[in-house]
Amino acid sequence: MSDTDRIDTYIHNLFIPDDPALTQAVDDATRAGLPMIQVPAALGKLLGMLVRAVGARRVLEIGTLGGYSAIWMARALPPDGRLLSLEVSERHAEIARANLARAGVVDRVEVRVGRALDLLPALADSHPFDLVFIDADKSSYPDYLDWALRLTCPGSMIVADNVVRRGEVADPDNMAEDIRALDRFNRLAAADPRLDAIIVPNRGGNDGILLAVVRDG
């Protein structure tokens, strides 16, 4: 076992009990041919803890896949809380809805199908979101940050997956469009006076998540 696998296994064994609904959500998504790129269980748990910590009643997710991270966050909501998850693939959305139903949270979650950048403008007039989780196409992350700032309020949290990518974001010679966009996203979040932000490495240090709190005033 590699060092990073040992670290992740240690954390997983200590903090993540077996959970049939979550295991089945991953199994079904895998059987349906979806990529195995859901958040690690430890990040799923952290997302649920953040939903509770901010007392979130409205959560926005960008990138549903098979609904794995959505299950973690929806379970952490109060009964009248709502999660809206945006997904470009109708097939992914259907699998996610089935997984959310089996996890018993389908009444708290709406999966809306379309390109996130096409769907986000319709949310501008709704109540602000208490937490936004960004996890879709990486080249749109800078735009997603703009929207997250427009759709939140002071005290809200903005969380983004995959912002380190094996350290590639730190290599200015890496010209891949998604990597450059992730670096731009990180820089925008770091410099924005409206945000208090940090990157926390995860996946044994191979990747990282960005956590940001929207400041007062």
- Residues lying near ligand DHB in the complex (CB under 6 A): 37, 135, 161-162
Residues 112-151 that bind ligand SAH (CB under 6 A): 115-116, 135-137, 140
For residues 39 and 135, the answer to whether their CB atoms sit within 8 Å is: yes
- Is the dihedral angle over the CA atoms 9, 167, 151, 156 positive or is it negative? positive
Please give the Cα distance from 27 to 17 (Å, whole number).
17
Question: How far apart are CB 154 and ligand SAH at their closest, in Å?
Answer: 25
Query: Smaller CB distance to ligand SAH: residue 61 or 130?
Result: 61
Min dist. Cβ of residue 170 to ligand SAH (A) = 23
Which of 94, 178 has the CB closer to ligand DHB? 178
Dmax of the chain from CA atoms?
A: 50
β-pair type (82-87, 152-160): unpaired
Give the chain's count of helices (H) and strands (E). Answer: 8, 7
CB of residue 92 to ligand SAH, shortest distance in Å? 4
Structure tokens at 63: 């990138």
Q: Give the sign of the dihedral formed by CA 130, CA 116, CA 107, CA 35.
A: negative
List helix spans (H) across 103-176.
Answer: 116-119, 141-150
Residue 52: CB atoms within 10 Å = 14
- Measured at CB, which residue is nearest to ligand SAH? 63
Instruction: Give the dihedral of Cα atoms 41, 9, 208, 109; nearest 10 deg.
Output: 0
Binding to ligand SAH by residue 63, rule CB under 6 A? yes
| Binding-site string for ligand SAH from residue 69 to residue 108, where x marks contact by CB under 6 A and - marks none | x----------------xxxx--x----------------
Nearer to ligand SAH, 32 or 37 (CB): 37
65 binds ligand SAH (CB under 6 A): yes
State the nearest-atom distance from the C-beta of 39 to ligand DHB, in Å: 6
Separation CA 71–CA 109 (nearest Å) = 9
Q: 192 is in the binding site of which of ligand DHB, Mg ion, ligand SAH, none (Cβ under 5 to 8 A by kind)?
A: none
Residues in the site for Mg ion, rule: CB under 5 A? Answer: 135, 161-162
Residues in the site for ligand SAH, rule: CB under 6 A? Answer: 37-39, 63-65, 68-69, 86-89, 92, 115-116, 135-137, 140
